[in-house]
Each structure stands twice: as structure tokens, then as C-alpha cells.
Amino acid sequence: MSTIRLLLADDQALVRGALSALLSLEPDLEVVVEVGAGDEVVPAALEHHPDVALLDVEMPGMDGIAATAALRAAAPDTRVLIVTTFGRPGYLRRALQAGASGFVVKDTPAAQLADAVRRVHAGLRVVDPALATDSLVAGESPLTARETDVLRAARDGSSVATIAARLFLSEGTVRNHLSSAIGKTGATNRAEAVIAADGNGWL
């Protein structure tokens, strides 16, 4: 039986340790490297040549979706399985667009997770069924790239002037994008728009 070499990327050491311990119980799986930040994924993969990389979405340095795209470009033989706490429909769509072969949530039973790893390694696509349904219902993000940028910049409650300076836009342009994003998300103010867009995984 050939061993499937794994890379684990998660910023929570406890979660990473638990995943590593569970997967290492499987006779055909071996965790060869663990990292705690998204920007460590590609260097670790180039050094250790894993068959499958299990990536969290929310990590420092670079999120798991950006890390997926970078890894697919740098090491196309390594397949990516996103394993996340945040089962947001928009994340699923963006992860698959970035080149991920699978997307499961962290409370997936150990045997199912090991099976997902094997299936991804075999070239199949594995997606949490409930999430796939939610993703179809939620649909594509209605926000333009610029509206998405403006809402991301508004996440920390920054003023219009601060957002304008950060994105090199005029204050009027920022107000227009915020107003449009509020309308598209069905929110009544920009804080609600951020929450709605975040909840759908659009940001």
C-alpha cells in the first residue's frame, strides 16, 4: 500500500495537532509537514512534496483560498482539500475556483475525513453535500470587485475618509460603492452589509 503524504495548514496548534493525530492513525496516511500560516504553505510543499495539502480558510499571512491558488501554481501535483470551521457557501465557490479538489468542515468524522483525503488524492472532487446545496442557493457574489474591496476595508469600522485613502479612491466613490453594496446585500447600513457579505463568504 503506498502512503499518501500530507501537509496540514491551520493557525490553531491544537486543531492541527488533533487532525495530525487522527490522520496518522490511518495506515496509508502520513503527515509530513505542518504549518500555521498561509504564506508558509508553498515553501513547505516545495520542500516536503506532499500529495495532498489540507488547508484551513482563515489563517494569518495568506488565507487558505489564496494559498490554494499559490500552491496549485507552484506545485500542481499537490492536491488541495480545504478543511474549515467556516462552512460558508461563498468560500466553497472561491476555493473550487482557486483549484481546491475538496471542501469539508472540521467536524467531519475522522473516517470520513480520511476517505475525503483518499478520494482527493485519487483525482476526485469531494464537497460537503449540505454546503454544496447552500452554495447553489446562495449563488455567485452580486458584488463587483471594487465593492468587495470597499466592504473589506469597512470591516474594521474605518471612516469613509480612511477607506478612501487606503484604496486610493475619492470619498464620493467610496460612498457610492458602499451604497451599492448595502443595496445588493439587502442591508440597511454598511455594518450590516459587511456582516451579510461575510456570512456568505463573499469577502
Tens digits of residue pLDDT in 119-176: 999 999 998 877 766 666 566 788 898 999 999 999 999 999 999 999 999 999 999 9
Give the model confidence (pLDDT) of 14-25 as tens digits.
999 999 999 999
Domain of 74 in residue numbering reads as 4-138
**Are residue 189 and residue 102 in the same domain, yes or no?**
no
**Residue 169 three-state SS:** coil
Helices (H) and strands (E) in the chain, counts: 10, 6
| Same domain (yes/no): 129, 191 | no
* Shared-domain flag, residues 162 and 178: yes
Q: pLDDT-derived band of residue 90, with 50, 70 and 90 as boundaries?
A: confident
CATH code of 104's domain: 3.40.50.2300
Quote the crossing angle between the two packed helices 145-154 and 160-167, to the nearest 10°: 130
Asked whether residue 35 falls in the same domain as residue 110, the answer is yes
Task: Render pLDDT for 1-16 as a digit per residue (tens, 0 to 9).
Answer: 689 999 999 999 999 9
Residues 121 and 80 in one domain: yes
Confidence of residue 203 (pLDDT cuts 50, 70, 90): confident
If asked whether residues 130 and 160 sit together in one domain, one would say no
Same domain, yes or no: 133 and 154: no
Q: 110 and 57 in one domain? A: yes
- 39 and 113 share one domain: yes
Please check whether residue 36 is in contact with residue 150, taking contact to mean a CB–CB distance below 8 angstroms: no
110 and 46 share a domain? yes
Residues 69 and 86 in one domain: yes
Q: pLDDT tens digit string along 47-82?
A: 999 999 999 998 998 999 999 999 999 999 999 999
Whether the predicted pLDDT of 187 surpasses 90: no
